Chain A
């Protein structure tokens, strides 16, 4: 029942915003949808697979850059650029995952972080595609069918379709054999192996699926802003994605969506609305928004580790 309401809200949003002349928020809403997709892909690896990957931004970034480079090299069609982005991100996830998943615990976290940063430096040194200044795209990708992604409403619905598909797929996956095996691996890896699950193989599969979805999010992100630069691969972006997942609820179906909406919404609110008493304390507090994010994150980790989704449901897994 709640889902029906949510879908209705999401579909009706552009119409409402357009009619009340708040077109800017449409672009903002698209951003939330894209980050929700990225965060949901991380949720698969983290919440369902139990892998603390601190390098997920590498896959978002790979997707963003491959899609952008394809466009700049003359392949303006989204039907070419975006699948390429997904494939490239999946490949990156395969290579990084194959190397990283041989380790666990603290090692795994550090290695994913290091590899992601490696991608950042690699992309940074690609002078042909903007280097540290980034790459600007003349227009959004061409999706055909007479539809123009340059129109914010159209783009919003495209992003919404992808997100809906991702959530639905995650829901099916969680209840299918693979999802159950993954959850078992997350719960007790040694036992899962001892009853015959090829644990490392399945973790890698999950890692690659998540990487591919992240790549799609990256392609959408690059197209949306018509701009991509190496910072999208910076490890602090990986951190941001992790924050979204824990804020929204690790291992819960809507965790990525809720977390992206909450974090981006919070950041926007802090930047736009001046809180009187806070301004009295520290006049330029809005320059230090990260401090607020840090404090909120710390509070969530210490006191509400189940995130927002945890407040709504007592069930452990969606």
Chain B
């Protein structure tokens, strides 16, 4: 029972971080109709910058807080310098150009930092917290959940309640109409991109002590973000949140319990092979099932 709760919390934690990546990505897809494979690279840059800044300033909080705007600026520079020219191009060109960007950024990071940059867990948070009697849970992971939930709330407030947010929503559901209504599209795009980069940085920096900060870390999580967006629907923040939590939960809980469940139901020679195999592709199977019934995702922003 305790194990289930613990895994559920892990799933929630991972899901919220995934949401930070997926939210920025789904807006770029929805508003700019551009597929950006290099989004994961921004996450990687955020993590590397955070690791360096934490070491430079000696403070965990300060390091992360500085890494966020730094990554946002880099993201916006990338948008203005390069990605802008891709909006008008076809999807194939976008895929290839951003794929090229991944290669370039991975190598650039490797040249500047080397293959990895370790980021230690802040001492104050490395201990467990007693959530329920007899159930300790790592304090750091609780921090992630708290920050993730706070950012999700903030994002919802901005998108649902502010003027900028309204423009973003309008652009996501109908770009031509937004243009016709006088939205300053280029500036909005740069802003959305910068915001997406900032969210990536938060996720990258927070996850850095837990996962390894290394070149190529962006790609694995990028694909999960894609799965989230396919499930949730392009252009929909709500869809990204639901999708992220779903993916986070299924992946974490699935990996822990599915082999166990298989072991109960199937003879051992199948269970030991099938269990981990199916667990590793559980989310893709979920995605396939959802796709079969709803090819546009659960909450598509466009009609």
Spell out A's residues near B (CB within 8 Å).
46, 52, 54, 99, 102-103, 105-107, 109-111, 113-115, 117-118, 121-122, 124-128, 235-236, 239, 242-243, 246, 250, 282, 288, 290-291, 293-295, 297-298, 300-302, 305
Q: How far is the CA of A196 from the CA of B211 in the complex (A)?
A: 53
C-alpha gap A239/B291 in the complex (Å): 24
Interface residues, chain B, with chain A CB atoms under 8 Å away: 29, 33, 35, 85, 91-93, 95-97, 99-104, 106-108, 110-111, 219, 223, 226-227, 229-230, 234, 273, 276-277, 280-281, 284-285, 287-288, 291-292, 295-297
CB neighbours of A305 from chain B (8 A): 93
Q: Is the CB of A114 within 8 A of B226?
A: yes
Q: Is the CB of A291 within 8 A of B91?
A: no
> In the assembled complex, which residues on chain A have CB atoms less than 8 Å from the CB atom of B229?
110
A301 to B296: give the CA distance in the assembly, Å. Answer: 29
How far is A96 from B181 in the complex, measured between Cα atoms in Å?
Answer: 40
The answer to whether B227 and A114 touch across the interface, beta carbons within 8 angstroms, is yes
Q: Is the Cβ of B223 less than 8 Å from the Cβ of A294?
A: no
CB proximity of A301 to chain B, nearest CB, Å: 5
Chain A residues near B110: list those with CB within 8 A: 288
In the complex the two chains form, is B91's CB within 8 Å of A125's CB?
Answer: no
The residue in A103, A109, A118, A235 that gathers the most chain B C-beta atoms within 10 A of its C-beta is A118
Assess the A128–B230 pair: CB atoms within 8 A: no
Decide yes or no: A239 and B99 within 8 Å by CB, A118-B281, A288-B111 being known contacts: yes
Q: How distant is the Cα of A171 from the Cα of B94 in the complex, in angstroms?
A: 28
Which B residue sits closest to A298, measured CB to CB? B100
Number of A-B residue pairs, CB cutoff 8 Å, is: 117
Distance in angstroms from A92 CB to nearest chain B CB is 13
Given known pairs A122-B280, A298-B100, the reply for A290 and B106 (CB within 8 Å) is yes
Do residues A291 and B99 form an inter-chain contact, with CB atoms below 8 A? no
A288 to B108, CA, bound (A): 9
- Taking the closest CB of chain B, its distance from the CB of A126, in whole angstroms, is 7
Taking A106-B35, A122-B277, A295-B100 as given, write out 20 further A-B residue pairs in contact, using a Cβ cutoff of 8 Å, ordered by the A residue number: A52-B91, A54-B95, A106-B29, A113-B223, A113-B226, A114-B284, A115-B284, A118-B281, A118-B284, A125-B280, A126-B273, A128-B273, A235-B223, A242-B95, A246-B96, A282-B111, A291-B104, A294-B101, A298-B104, A300-B96
Chain A residues with CB under 8 Å of B230's CB are 107, 110-111, 114
B104, chain A: closest CB distance, angstroms: 4
CB-CB nearest in chain B for A122: B281
User: Are A46's CB and B103's CB within 8 A?
Assistant: no
CB-nearest residue of chain A to B97: A301
Q: Which of B92, B108, B110, B277: most chain A Cβ within 10 A?
A: B92
A100 to B255, CA, bound (A): 25
Question: What are 9 pairs between A and B in contact, CB < 8 Å?
Answer: A52-B95, A106-B234, A113-B223, A117-B223, A246-B96, A291-B107, A291-B111, A295-B100, A297-B96
Q: Given the complex of chains A and B, what is the CA–CA distance between A107 and B292 in angstroms? A: 13
C-alpha spacing A246/B29, complex, angstroms: 23
In Å, the complex CA distance between A246 and B90 comes to 13
Known: A106-B234, A109-B91, A111-B291. A301 touches B96 (CB 8 A): yes
